[in-house]
Structure 1
Amino acid sequence: MRVSSLRLLALCAGLVSAENGINGWLRYAPLSDDKILQQGLDTLPSVIVTLNSTKTSPVYTAGKELQAGILGVIGESLNITHQTEPAAQSSSILVGTAAAYNAGYGTVDISKFAPDGFWLSIQKGSVKIVGQNERGALYGAFEYLSRISRGNFSDVDLISNPDAPIRWVNQWDNLDGSIERGYAGRSIFFWNGTVVQDLTRVAQYARLLASIRINAIVPNNVNANANSLNNENIEGLGRIADVLRPYGIQVGLSLNFASPQLLGGLSTFDPLEPSVVSWWTEKTALLYKRIPDLAGYLVKANSEGQPGPLTYNRTLADGANLFAKAVKPYGGVVLFRAFVYDHHADWNVWTNDRANAAVQFFKHLDGEFLDNIVVQIKYGAIDFQIREPANPLFANIPKTNKAIELQITQEYLGQQSHFVYIPPLWKEILDFDMRADSKPSLVRDIVAGRRYNNTLGGYAGVVNVGTNTSWLGHHLAMSNLYAYGLLAWDPTLSSEDLLHDWTRLTFGPDPVVLKTVSDISLATLPTYENYSGNLGIQTLTDILYTHFGPNPASQDNNGWGQWTRATATHIGMDRTVKNGTGNAGQYPPEVAAIFENIETTPDDLLLWFHHVPYTHRLKSGKTVIQHFYDAHYEGAKTAQTFPRQWEALRNKVDVERFTEVLFRLTYQAGHSIVWRDSINNFYHNLSRIDDEHGRVGNHPHRIEAERLSLKGYSLVKANPLETASNFTAVAVTATDGLGEAVIKLDDVKSGTYDVAFAYYDVIGGRAHYGAFLNGEPLLEWIGDLEDKLGHAFSNKIDGHSATRVTVKGVEIQKGDELKIIGVVDGIETAALDYVAIIPPGELD
């Protein structure tokens, strides 16, 4: 019986070792079950054979990855041989391309492969990993390693092919090193206007992406800087491509449409002007000279102030075709974003509707885009909202290649300070049947090219990885990236199964860990929807500022078009053909008929398609306004359970990751109450309809800050008003920057309580707070969430900066004195909203 050489070391290690998340799901942690480990040892081949010895080859990379993975998981170090001539290997892991395999090791039917596909055969003592190309061979190696990392050593014989050829990630990184919608540190690609010199993190990222079968990265922001195309950055992009190539990942580039003018010195960027065509042709040739396998271009044009062909009364197809012709000789593709809309729309016009923009801009151009162009369509017609119907554009350009744009970055979903497991939302969209021509027309079949016999199609995921070792800022959020890649490969996969696999690979096989992570993760999407925006009204965040905290008033009366049409009596967009914007009519007739009729419209999309009274009865029997109240309370209540559930994993998850996840789940629990109260108070004030259960505006456990005896503190208003309890907060205004708030707890019965302090963590300083009970320190904290959570929320007293900190299990005697001291730092004025004295088991 073979015995693992690392087994003794693993046993001696004892407690779970510290981890920082850098390896994601590729930890290759030693198997902890002796029986399963022995099964692995008994069936393990004796050598790794790679059918390519070139170090930049993904096949060579596959060999090194197999060696490292087997050493980590099973504790055996296998030698690697690089066979260029056929040789007998009775007990080997053989990895290579189909062409190399068929040259002397056996026969595999190449006709069964799609590009990037692979064959994996596991028989006791023999493993064959054969790719349609080198990238496919690497994917097969990662599949094998994923199986053994989860303790699966069963025999298998399978061919796995991708559902779609385009499986890209779009980074929104800027040349200065910042990241638009970035919540996990600075860029791993850029710094100070150029590509970073040390690309170690890029290689680590490429490894993660290759393991989930991503085949291209666009590293720079869609709001592109023309200097991305200067000679220094072309060389830098080439260095990025060199790092990605061994992992089978190509690099693409996001373009600024006006680059010929901004960078090239031309007087125009008209796509039909010969000098502009020549400029792009020459620039493209320079790029392909340095990067022969450049994937192509990504273009955002004529949207949100970006330049584009409409500037010169040219069509969007004219603009896209300019780039398509430039990359065509090199085999490149162009992803042209359908996210085109006027952000200066007149909200006074009832029929105006940003949701109509994609179809209005692109439908009449169907058939005019060249065959190496893929129109990249956001999953919904607005912008990564918590609830949107599938974008009608998918069914309106049948002759055009299409890709779906999905959001891994949680821009409108809590920005990784809240955690939302997003794949169930993606699955709803991908599984939606457009019923075009009264035939099955699932979105996933449309984007794969099957439904309309398109030659290209696929997936583009917006990812905001940064220098944080957890990559996305929140360890649990990495489940979204993992699931995205594998769903792009096979969209029929279950989001639950993907979550379970990710959990086993990321945290290990402990059934308690698996259940806890699954329970939390699968609850997050409905929970966030409950406490943010319901019934298809969109995510009720502040769309004019950071897209993070609550501010429903910001949706309306501006040009951005994310309107709710909320009045004192009604709410919701009328998108019917009969009375409204006509958006329902952009869908094929069978679907349009469902959305046009209020009786057949699903309740969770009611306010997307219909303008109704707050008293309108849902299919549940509740009124719209009561559903709002109940859902927000239910969402906040569920969020309180997340940190409690995670606490059960103490000593089952390494200390670093356990602590960081607990901190963020605790923050989410507190901020969910800010969301709940802000939204409910706003609609209560607007509608003047009371909550049937008397909760809204009634908080018996709170002591409002303005009720405390204040010294150095003054009353202030939050903006919006509803983001302060009782619409008032206090902030230090004393010249010495010191404030004191005191109260005798004469109305509190003696007992054990959780004590919550609601305050405002404003960027621009790190105020200090101290809470004292009868002169004894109870809690000290600093307003430094911008450091701990990795991104800046707000420089104002509002729903972004509003937050809570809680001390649990405090023994209080009736009449005790509670004192809070605040010390100003910078523009952060140690602002307070309230103190909550919460009995055990109750919700504030």
Structure 2
Amino acid sequence: MTGDSAWLGTQRLPEVTVHASGVLAQTIRAEVRQTRRFRTDVQIAVCTLTRVRETALWQEVEAAVPEHGLGVEGFVVVRRGNDLVVAAEGGHGLLYGYFYVLRYFEWMSGDFTVVEQPAVPIRMLDHWDELSGVVRRGYSGKSIFFRDGEVVPDLSRVRAYARLLASIGINAVALATAELPDVARLAGVFREYGIAMSLAVDFIDDPRDERVARWWAATIARVYDVVPDLGGLVVRTARDPEGANLLARAVTPYGGSVFWRCSGAEPEQDWRDRRADRARAAYDAFIPLDGRFEENVVLQVKHGPLDFQVREPVAPLLGEFQETVFGVELQVTQEYSGQQQDLCYLGPWWREILQFDTTGGGGVTVADRIGAIVAVSNVGDDLNWTGHKLAQSNLYAFGRLAWDPSADPVSLLHEWAAATFAMDDRTRSELVTILSGSWQTYERYTAPLGVGFMVTPGTHYGPSVNGYEFSGAGTYHFADRYGVGVDRTVKTGSGFTGQYPEPLASLYEDVYTCPDELLLFFHHVPYDHVLQSGSTVLQHIYDTHFQGYAEVEAMVARWRVIAERFEPAIRTNITARFETHLSNAREWRDQVNTFFYRLSGVADAHSRTIHR
């Protein structure tokens, strides 16, 4: 059983001929055989550049190839009249070019030339699936890879997943280690779709112990004996960054890489100490080490300094590394954004992060600087892959933005919806409207103004305003009867603002220039502090929580209008999730508003119901 076909179920193509050889050419031929056909005079040829002269458009294709070439993954698509040619230097580019045509063919008209190359070389999905079948921070059922301590015997669903990933440009995955023959089986499936598999490991050893180095070298050699094209290792948790170099030296003979997650040293914090700050940890730990890592180490940096919050500043590390290869880490799985119960399309948030100017002065963006873009996947063995059918849009958007970080998130929604559902344009527009603003809606009814968390400890779903307030987690809001927020300024707080370059450091340091949406992340302010929007902090909290809940009500109303146009199973799934979503949004609205009313004693200016 492979589950639903997601965005690969509705497309059609005319006859396609393949002028190429190799594993990926065979994959393309298999794709052609399973793609639905329709009658047209257009003829499609997929060919390597070395064989492009076998096609009618060889001159146009050769003229379109950039001087620097297409690289391993780039491709050209040329159409003139009824001839259409997809050309690339090898199998990877051909596969991506084929999926490009599959995605857009029925929208194509007239003559055109397209040249595409990925903006980021490594586009990877991490999977925190345990061999038991449990998925850490997973909200879509159990693992599609593992069950009862071993790899599942039937890999047909893994193959279907690899196909989905390749269609959106993903070229790497990380999975837990298993018995070597099973590792080889999994790697073989992903290899069919041009996806390199890495192994996720924990490193808690002493990297200065020669016995440790020898053990890892021998173990890695055994793995490469059975999977010669293994991508490398992804280190989920670790203690000593020097371990990255130890592992890098072990995989170097085989061309592998080590992806080392930069979580920093995060000891238990004392909530009494206002200057202790978890947000500082990664920068403080890794900036002194810049330039001291092996060339095949990729430091994997969370997009924000805390932990995948629905709003937090871009991590200063992403603008400060100068001599080390690094990548940005996102979360497709919705740990802090509704857990695939609440609808929250994250495409706009990711694009904002990727396009963030790391200099603050018209300089390079995050997307310009990174060598990899990585995310924790949101799939499981639920029939629709992602628990909430509409959460497939996040997986789709991640892949497309990893390929092109400048892509418009709303346009990606239209692409995804058109490919996923058989629907008319009006229904698609209504669905896109429901999805497109859902991230901002989620932000409005949850933790205000970038203060973060306020979630139920452990599960991280639903509100618990003081849930972590007296813990050692370092995720505080410091609300009292006078004000709220975390002082991270250099002048009076933890000094975190000083980790940014100028002019960003001054922008965040000044309470009057700090962006409203990040104010409580950087500053502790009184409730009557006036935001740049003209509202006081407290009234903003009340207003946005009422507004956020009202927007969820509007989403549900829009859905009810179009629900009957969807297949029964899809309709039932989405309707049930919206019921949970509405209930959760109500709890957030009421608990947050009541909490701040009880603390401050200040009523809502519009006399709306706040429970006392």
TM-score after normalising by structure 1: 0.69
Q: What is the rounded CA distance, in whole Å, between the counterparts of 2:402 and 2:464 in structure 1?
A: 34
Match of 1:24 in 2: 6
Match of 1:58 in 2: 24
Aligned AA (1:463): S
Match of 1:536 in 2: 450
Q: 1:598–1:610: 8 Å Cα contact kept in structure 2? A: yes
Match of 1:211 in 2: 167
Does residue 124 (structure 1) correspond to residue 84 (structure 2)? The answer is no
Match of 2:98 in 1: 141
Aligned AA (2:7): W
Aligned partner of residue 218 in structure 1, secondary structure: strand
Alignment CA distance shift 1:625-1:465 (3 Å): same
Match of 1:279 in 2: 215
Does residue 444 (structure 1) correspond to residue 372 (structure 2)? The answer is no
Match of 2:195 in 1: 249
Deviation, structure 1 residue 397: 1.4
Q: What is the rounded CA distance, in whole Å, between the counterparts of 1:98 and 1:331 in structure 2?
A: 26
Larger relative contact order (Cα-Cα within 8 Å, sequence gap ≥ 6): 2
Q: What is the rounded CA distance, in whole Å, between the counterparts of 2:186 and 2:421 in structure 1?
A: 30
Alignment CA distance shift 1:189-1:401 (3 Å): same
Match of 1:546 in 2: 459
Aligned AA (1:242): G
Match of 2:424 in 1: 510
Does residue 158 (structure 1) correspond to residue 109 (structure 2)? The answer is no
Match of 1:792 in 2: none
Deviation, structure 1 residue 343: 4.2
Counterpart of 1:67 (choices 33, 39, 42) is: 33
Aligned partner of residue 383 in structure 2, secondary structure: coil
Give the structure with the higher percent strand: 1
Q: What is the rounded CA distance, in whole Å, between the counterparts of 2:454 and 2:70 in structure 1?
A: 46
Write out per-residue CA displacement over residues 183-202 of structure 1, whole angstroms, 9 at most, x where no aligned residue: 11110011111111111110
Q: What is the rounded CA distance, in whole Å, between the counterparts of 1:660 and 1:168 in structure 2?
A: 28
Match of 1:176 in 2: 132
Match of 2:227 in 1: 291
Write out per-residue CA displacement over residues 242-294 of structure 1, whole angstroms, 9 at most, x where no aligned residue: 11111111111111214xxxxxxxxxx32122221111111111111111111
Aligned AA (1:322): L
Does residue 560 (structure 1) correspond to residue 473 (structure 2)? The answer is yes
Match of 1:406 in 2: 330
Q: 1:48–1:67: 8 Å Cα contact kept in structure 2? A: no
Q: What is the rounded CA distance, in whole Å, between the counterparts of 1:158 and 1:697 in structure 2?
A: 56
Match of 1:98 in 2: 49
Deviation, structure 1 residue 612: 0.6
Deviation, structure 1 residue 666: 2.4
Q: What is the rounded CA distance, in whole Å, between the counterparts of 1:92 and 1:468 in structure 2?
A: 38
Does residue 680 (structure 1) correspond to residue 604 (structure 2)? The answer is no
Aligned AA (2:337): L
Match of 1:357 in 2: 281
Does residue 631 (structure 1) correspond to residue 544 (structure 2)? The answer is yes
Equivalent positions of 1:703-782 (< 5 A) are none
Aligned AA (1:615): D
Q: 1:642–1:666: 8 Å Cα contact kept in structure 2? A: no
Counterpart of 2:584 (choices 640, 664, 671) is: 671
Deviation, structure 1 residue 145: 0.6
Alignment CA distance shift 1:242-1:20 (3 Å): closer
Aligned AA (1:140): G
Q: 1:20–1:656: 8 Å Cα contact kept in structure 2? A: no
Aligned AA (1:197): P
Does residue 239 (structure 1) correspond to residue 152 (structure 2)? The answer is no
Q: 1:59–1:95: 8 Å Cα contact kept in structure 2? A: no
Aligned partner of residue 192 in structure 2, secondary structure: helix
Deviation, structure 1 residue 502: 0.7
Q: What is the rounded CA distance, in whole Å, between the counterparts of 1:364 and 1:115 in structure 2?
A: 35
Counterpart of 1:192 (choices 148, 153, 166) is: 148
Match of 1:48 in 2: 17
Aligned AA (1:289): D
Match of 1:461 in 2: 375
Q: What is the rounded CA distance, in whole Å, between the counterparts of 2:533 and 2:267 in structure 1?
A: 36
Write out per-residue CA displacement over residues 112-138 of structure 1, whole angstroms, 9 at most, x where no aligned residue: 213311112233333322223311110
Q: What is the rounded CA distance, in whole Å, between the counterparts of 1:355 and 1:154 in structure 2?
A: 52
Counterpart of 1:658 (choices 563, 571, 580) is: 571
Q: What is the rounded CA distance, in whole Å, between the counterparts of 2:150 and 2:186 in structure 1?
A: 12
Equivalent positions of 1:243-642 (< 5 A) are 243-258=189-204, 269-302=205-238, 308-309=239-240, 316=241, 318-435=242-359, 440-447=363-370, 457-542=371-456, 544-642=457-555
Deviation, structure 1 residue 619: 1.8
Alignment CA distance shift 1:154-1:244 (3 Å): farther
Deviation, structure 1 residue 433: 0.9
Question: Can you give the 5+ residue segments of structure 2 that lack an aligned partner in the other structure?
Answer: none
Aligned AA (1:24): A
Alignment CA distance shift 1:279-1:104 (3 Å): farther
Q: What is the rounded CA distance, in whole Å, between the counterparts of 1:153 and 1:558 in structure 2?
A: 59
Deviation, structure 1 residue 652: 2.2
Deviation, structure 1 residue 92: 4.7
Aligned partner of residue 251 in structure 1, secondary structure: strand
Alignment CA distance shift 1:627-1:21 (3 Å): farther
Q: 1:70–1:145: 8 Å Cα contact kept in structure 2? A: no
Match of 2:561 in 1: 648
Q: 2:264–2:286: 8 Å Cα contact kept in structure 1? A: no
Q: 1:271–1:277: 8 Å Cα contact kept in structure 2? A: yes
Q: What is the rounded CA distance, in whole Å, between the counterparts of 1:256 and 1:511 in structure 2?
A: 48
Match of 1:832 in 2: none
Q: What is the rounded CA distance, in whole Å, between the counterparts of 2:53 and 2:490 in structure 1?
A: 60
Deviation, structure 1 residue 68: 2.5
Q: What is the rounded CA distance, in whole Å, between the counterparts of 2:16 and 2:71 in structure 1?
A: 28
Q: What is the rounded CA distance, in whole Å, between the counterparts of 1:371 and 1:696 in structure 2?
A: 59
Deviation, structure 1 residue 539: 3.7
Deviation, structure 1 residue 576: 0.6
Aligned partner of residue 199 in structure 2, secondary structure: strand
Q: What is the rounded CA distance, in whole Å, between the counterparts of 1:416 and 1:91 in structure 2?
A: 41
Q: 2:10–2:422: 8 Å Cα contact kept in structure 1? A: no
Identical residues among aligned pairs (%): 37
Q: 2:120–2:367: 8 Å Cα contact kept in structure 1? A: no
Q: 1:116–1:162: 8 Å Cα contact kept in structure 2? A: yes
Q: 2:2–2:160: 8 Å Cα contact kept in structure 1? A: no
Aligned residue pairs: how many? 606
Aligned partner of residue 367 in structure 2, secondary structure: helix
Aligned AA (1:486): R
Q: What is the rounded CA distance, in whole Å, between the counterparts of 1:283 and 1:564 in structure 2?
A: 45
Aligned partner of residue 560 in structure 1, secondary structure: coil
Q: What is the rounded CA distance, in whole Å, between the counterparts of 2:115 and 2:193 in structure 1?
A: 20
TM-score after normalising by structure 2: 0.95
Counterpart of 2:607 (choices 675, 694, 710) is: 694
Q: What is the rounded CA distance, in whole Å, between the counterparts of 2:567 and 2:3 in structure 1?
A: 10
Q: 1:190–1:196: 8 Å Cα contact kept in structure 2? A: yes
Q: Which has the larger radius of gyration?
A: 1
Deviation, structure 1 residue 100: 5.0
Alignment CA distance shift 1:99-1:289 (3 Å): farther
Aligned partner of residue 319 in structure 1, secondary structure: helix
Q: 2:2–2:156: 8 Å Cα contact kept in structure 1? A: no
Q: What is the rounded CA distance, in whole Å, between the counterparts of 1:668 and 1:439 in structure 2?
A: 39
Deviation, structure 1 residue 464: 2.7
